């Protein structure tokens, strides 16, 4: 019973991390971290924002929560006096798309993968958090969507967004500033803690591992990586994240093969050896286990 309560509590904590109360928004400060080449990472609450500045205007990646839009716009105005031309969503989750409607109303062109458009334009339910998410009003929907990849040519950069299948969700995109060695991964990478994997939106830990492994072949020791959550990262951080996910699968697979239920597996505290390093961030260990267990059990 205690275990069940603790699983419930950890999911509750994850939920509150994803959806702040108004008071908490008031306290949020937007931090602007220069990445190089006129590119910045903005941290506030929710997913990390990527910004490219230059003569052609502002290119933006994700927009956190709706109440933060004024603070985010104020932070952007300190690094560019140009208008925001495009905003691309790395996936549909509301801690990355909450500002869409505010930006759409200002004439910003919103771009995302086809599945982001599908999910934002219809009511959603995130099973892990038991959270219903209503459809986004028209002004907040992407006006351009793509099925595979798209490249923006502005500010002297070639900014390529490409879709990766079934990782954090079914609509994830990675954004690469080509020739500049800078990447925004969206939520396929949580730097320093267990990730949330939204299986009810088509996510899978196996997809997360695959994407991280493939990204590792594309980066070098000088690559600057803006993760979906957590501090600015480098190749080693991504390698550590990938290796952790691999160890998680290796550790949990034998338990599912023995036919243990989630509750029985949780009692064994199988991720104990990883928790100190990875378990005090976005999701606590039990919540993380509960979100990946069935995927591993179902994996043939």
- The Cα 75–Cα 77 span in angstroms is 5
CB of 168 to Zn ion, least distance (A): 6
Question: Which position's Cβ is nearest Zn ion?
Answer: 93
Instruction: Kindly state whether residue 187 participates in binding Zn ion, applying the rule CB under 5 A.
Output: yes
> Cα–Cα distance between 139 and 91 in angstroms, integer?
17
Q: How many chain residues touch Zn ion (CB under 5 A)?
A: 2
Query: For the window 76-95, what string marks contact with Zn ion as x by the rule CB under 5 A?
Result: -----------------x--
- 72 three-class SS: helix
> How near is the Cβ of 96 to Zn ion at its closest, in Å?
6
d(CA 49, CA 124): 23
Q: Establish if 119 lies at the interface with Zn ion (CB under 5 A).
A: no
Using the contact rule CB under 5 A, the part of the chain among 111-119, 185-193, 252-260, 269-277 near Zn ion is: 185-193
Q: What share of the chain is helix, strand, coil (3-state, %, to 5)?
A: 40, 25, 35
Task: Answer yes or no: are the C-beta atoms of 73 and 79 closer than 8 Å.
Answer: no
Min CB(155)–Zn ion separation in Å: 26
Question: If binding is defined by CB under 5 A, does position 229 make contact with Zn ion?
Answer: no
Distance between CA 139 and CA 106 in Å, rounded? Answer: 9
71 belongs to the binding site for Zn ion (CB under 5 A): no
Shortest distance in whole angstroms from residue 49 CB to Zn ion: 13
Applying CB under 5 A, which part among 183-191, 230-238, 275-283, 289-297 lies near Zn ion?
Answer: 183-191
Q: Can you state the angle between helices 205-216 and 235-257, rounded to 10 degrees?
A: 150
Integer Cα distance of 168 and 33 in angstroms? 25
172 lies in the site for Zn ion, by CB under 5 A: no
> Pick from 180, 178, 173: which is nearest to 62 by CA?
173
Q: Is 37 in the site for Zn ion (CB under 5 A)?
A: no
Per CB under 5 A, 101 contacts Zn ion: no
- Count CB-CB contacts under 10 A for residue 145: 20
CB of 93 vs Zn ion, minimal distance in Å: 3
Q: Does 62 bind Zn ion (CB under 5 A)?
A: no
Which residues are near Zn ion by CB under 5 A? 93, 187
């Amino acid at each position: 019973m205690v275990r069940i309560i603790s699983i419930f509590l950890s999911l509750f904590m994850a939920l509150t991390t994803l959806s702040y109360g108004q008071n908490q928004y008031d306290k949020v400060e937007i931090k602007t971290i220069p990445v190089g080449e006129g590119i910045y990472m903005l941290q506030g609450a929710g997913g990390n924002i990527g910004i490219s500045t230059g003569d052609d205007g502002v290119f933006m990646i994700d927009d956190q929560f709706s109440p933060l839009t004024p603070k985010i716009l104020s932070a952007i105005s300190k690094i560019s006096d140009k208008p925001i031309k495009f905003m691309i969503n790395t996936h549909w989750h509301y801690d990355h798309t909450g500002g869409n409607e505010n930006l759409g109303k200002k004439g910003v062109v919103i771009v995302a993968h086809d599945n982001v458009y599908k999910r934002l334009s219809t009511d959603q339910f995130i099973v892990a958090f038991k959270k219903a998410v209503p459809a986004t009003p028209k002004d907040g929907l992407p006006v351009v969507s793509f099925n595979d990849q798209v490249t923006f040519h502005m500010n002297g950069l070639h900014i390529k967004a490409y879709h990766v299948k079934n990782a954090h969700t079914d609509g994830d995109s990675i954004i690469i500033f080509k020739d500049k060695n800078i990447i925004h991964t969206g939520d396929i990478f949580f730097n320093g803690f267990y990730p949330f994997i939204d299986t009810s939106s088509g996510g899978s830990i196996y997809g997360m591992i695959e994407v991280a492994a493939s990204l590792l072949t594309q980066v070098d020791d000088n690559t600057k990586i803006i993760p979906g959550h957590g501090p600015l990262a480098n190749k080693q951080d991504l390698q550590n994240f990938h290796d952790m996910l691999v160890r998680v699968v290796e550790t949990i697979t034998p338990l599912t093969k023995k036919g243990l239920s989630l509750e029985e597996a949780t009692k064994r505290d199988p991720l104990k050896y990883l928790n100190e390093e990875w378990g005090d961030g976005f999701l606590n260990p039990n919540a993380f286990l509960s979100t990946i267990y069935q995927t591993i059990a179902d994996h043939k």
